[in-house]
Structure 1
């Protein structure tokens, strides 16, 4: 029995040394020669491996690896771009809210300005009517009334009165009051 095991061992060794080792050596030499000649043996083997049904799942070609790598890079780039777009959308929304708020302020200021202009027109109209009343009055009656009025209002009224009538009214006023109003009238005209 020991002899039988030795025969099996020696047959296996013989097969290995006679067939397997020379086959591996031959394949190595062929690979070296083909590589020196410029043939991409592994790429070619991958293409052939992809055509064989069971092996195609295991073997990946360099094109497939490049494709997988590029796909992964593009997916990461897409994710990065989507993050940037989301941040920019948030900024746009914030800026739009700010613009809306500023537009509301502009509308409020416009309405205040319109209201102020309307009030100014009404005041101007009232001043014109008062000035017309003073034109029709006797200067002796008008002078004491203008002296007792607010100085700014008196100046506005006298600006609307014709200069001849204005002079007569100022002539009937207290000299200090008349001088003060005249100075203010001249200062207003020089501006």
Structure 2
């Protein structure tokens, strides 16, 4: 009996020794291996979850954690998507507003160009008319036999404009001194105006 009590005591003393000799180095080895694998870029915890998903009792626990995490992640992404859609709508409204401004400015530019062209043509016409008026006055001061050869050699449109501004009496005298064909053509154009 004494031996059996001594054997029991001995077994009790060896059990902690076995734990310290086997389990603590084993835990240290596992920890060291996880650290090395993590440093090498291998995610140990993800792989453990993947393999734990295939174990019958553990798979339910892992899937519940994943469902909770995925639903939170999905809510986060839905919120981000809603924010981005709002931002896109705001940017689209701003772009439409800018496009309307561009269209209005383009129409304003076209109107200003048309006004400028009209002012230029009026200015040219006014300058041309004043020159024609000056020329008509100089022809009224000339004798008909001096003015007729000059008007014959002018452009017919200009000759008609000048003679339109000359008095009827002077006009008749100048036409009488011109060649018959030229005088007939200029006279018919004067009648049309």
Normalised by the shorter chain, which TM-score bucket? 0.5 to 0.7
- Structure 2, unmatched stretches of 5+, are 1-77
Q: Which residue of 2 aligns with 1:170?
A: 175
Corresponding residue to 1:143 among 131, 143, 148: 148
Corresponding residue to 2:110 among 101, 105, 110: 105
Q: Which residue of 2 aligns with 1:95?
A: 100
Shift of 1:122: 0.9
| Match status 1:122 vs 2:112 | no
1:1-191 equivalence runs, <5 A = 83-187=88-192, 189=193
Shift of 1:178: 0.7
Quote the Cα distance in structure 1 between the aligned partners of 2:93 and 2:184.
Answer: 67
Shift of 1:128: 0.4
Q: How many residues align?
A: 115
Quote the Cα distance in structure 1 between the aligned partners of 2:101 and 2:160.
Answer: 49
- Structure 1, unmatched stretches of 5+, are 1-71
TM-score in terms of structure 2 length: 0.53
Runs of 4+ in 1 over 6 A off after TM superposition: 78-82
Q: Which residue of 2 aligns with 1:67?
A: none
TM-score in terms of structure 1 length: 0.53
Q: How big is the alpha-carbon RMSD for the aligned residues of Structure 1 and Structure 2? A: 2.4
